[in-house]
Chain A
């Protein structure tokens, strides 16, 4: 089991550029979550999917953020245009839909927007 795989591990971009973060969940998991972590706000849930369908995106900060899950093995989080305040570590997690199934997190993408 390779775990949740995120890419890239680090991303440095200039303000105004489009950024795409990628996530491959654990095979068989039917829930996928995107979190963001900053020093000021800690870990925040941005959006989550069930069976590839977005269920709750109330944590997405602005329209500049969008997330897709075209199939069970791939999800993207896109920021367009990026701003310096988007600098953070973005985590993807997946889980089974069974009660109390633990969330399995990837190692995150550290995004720096200059």
Chain B
């Protein structure tokens, strides 16, 4: 699976959009980009995933560049409850016994401030 690079930490003002970048310059054509987050004292939580098109759900938007070498997770109106570590993960969508196991990197610690 391709390696990802994320800034270790970011701040965001409450109510503003939080834009979390991720570099994955070695991504292959069949690898997806996944985002999870981990709020303090909880297990990681799935946010969104995409292949090459931009994606949006009730939690966030995922913008993937045309060359797919980087992506941005957007939380449109960050709240204090969005303070968490955000993980960007790149992996092949698996059809075999590997299931959907994930390899986590260091992530970005997002601090949403009042």
**Chain A interfacial positions (CB closer than 8 Å to B):** 4, 31, 33, 42-43, 45, 48, 50, 55-56, 91, 93, 95, 97, 99-108
5 residue pairs from A and B, CB less than 8 Å apart: A91-B44, A93-B44, A95-B100, A100-B32, A104-B46
- Given the complex of chains A and B, what is the CA–CA distance between A31 and B94 in angstroms? 13
Question: Closest CB of chain A to B78's CB: distance in Å?
Answer: 22
- Given the complex of chains A and B, what is the CA–CA distance between A58 and B49 in angstroms? 27
Known: A43-B44, A56-B98. 18 other contacts (CB 8 A): A33-B99, A42-B106, A45-B102, A45-B103, A48-B99, A50-B97, A50-B99, A55-B97, A55-B98, A95-B100, A99-B95, A99-B100, A100-B100, A103-B101, A104-B46, A105-B43, A105-B45, A107-B42
Q: Are B101 and A33 in contact (CB under 8 A)?
A: yes
**Chain B interfacial positions (CB closer than 8 Å to A):** 32, 36, 41-46, 49, 93-95, 97-106
- Given the complex of chains A and B, what is the CA–CA distance between A31 and B102 in angstroms? 12
Q: Among the interface residues B36, B46, B100, which one has the most CB atoms of the partner chain A within 10 A?
A: B100
Q: Enumerate the 6 nearest inter-chain pairs by beta-carbon distance, A residue then B residue, closest first.
A: A105-B43, A102-B46, A43-B104, A31-B99, A99-B93, A105-B44
**CB neighbours of A50 from chain B (8 A):** 97, 99
A-B contact count (CB 8 A): 60
Question: Closest CB of chain B to A96's CB: distance in Å?
Answer: 8
Q: Are A45 and B105 in contact (CB under 8 A)?
A: no
Question: Closest CB of chain A to B85's CB: distance in Å?
Answer: 10
Q: Are A99 and B101 in contact (CB under 8 A)?
A: no
- Given the complex of chains A and B, what is the CA–CA distance between A22 and B45 in angstroms? 20
Q: Are B100 and A45 in contact (CB under 8 A)?
A: no
